[in-house]
Amino acid sequence: MITVANRIYVAPAYGDAFEERFRKRAGLVDGMPGFVSNQVLRPVNDGDPYIVFTIWNSREDFLNWVRSDEFVKGHAQSGTMPPEAFTGPNKLEVHEVLQDSTRPDLKPEPKGGPLKMH
């Protein structure tokens, strides 16, 4: 199991528009094999990023999503906000799940080294 956190720095004046885009997201990821969940986390402190947090059954499942036509379609609207809506570059973080308290029988994700997206 892996988690993927995309930290997106949004200017406060664009927060509502950013959130609305996620409310109207295509939702294509929801049907992908190995997809577990998607959360969009709103920052409570000034200057902190939004976090788009997904959980996947495996690294391979996530990579299949990133390389899919559904990924391209699902991200088609992500470039529609103006550059000034963002206060810095987004940062993608991937973590291998060693333990999950809701799944005590979960086998830890094997160490896979750096993630090669393409």
pLDDT tens readout for residues 52-88: 999 999 999 999 999 999 888 877 766 678 999 999 9
Q: Determine the Cα–Cα distance for residues 24 and 100; give it in Å rounded to an integer.
A: 30
Write the pLDDT tens digit of every residue in 105-114. Answer: 988 888 888 8
- Terminus-to-terminus CA distance in the chain, angstroms? 20
User: What is the structure's pLDDT at 118?
Assistant: 55
Write the pLDDT tens digit of every residue in 30-55. Answer: 999 999 999 999 999 999 999 999 99
CA-nearest of 23, 32, 116, 24 to 69 is 32
34 burial type by CB count under 10 A (0-12 exposed, 13-18 middle, 19+ buried): middle
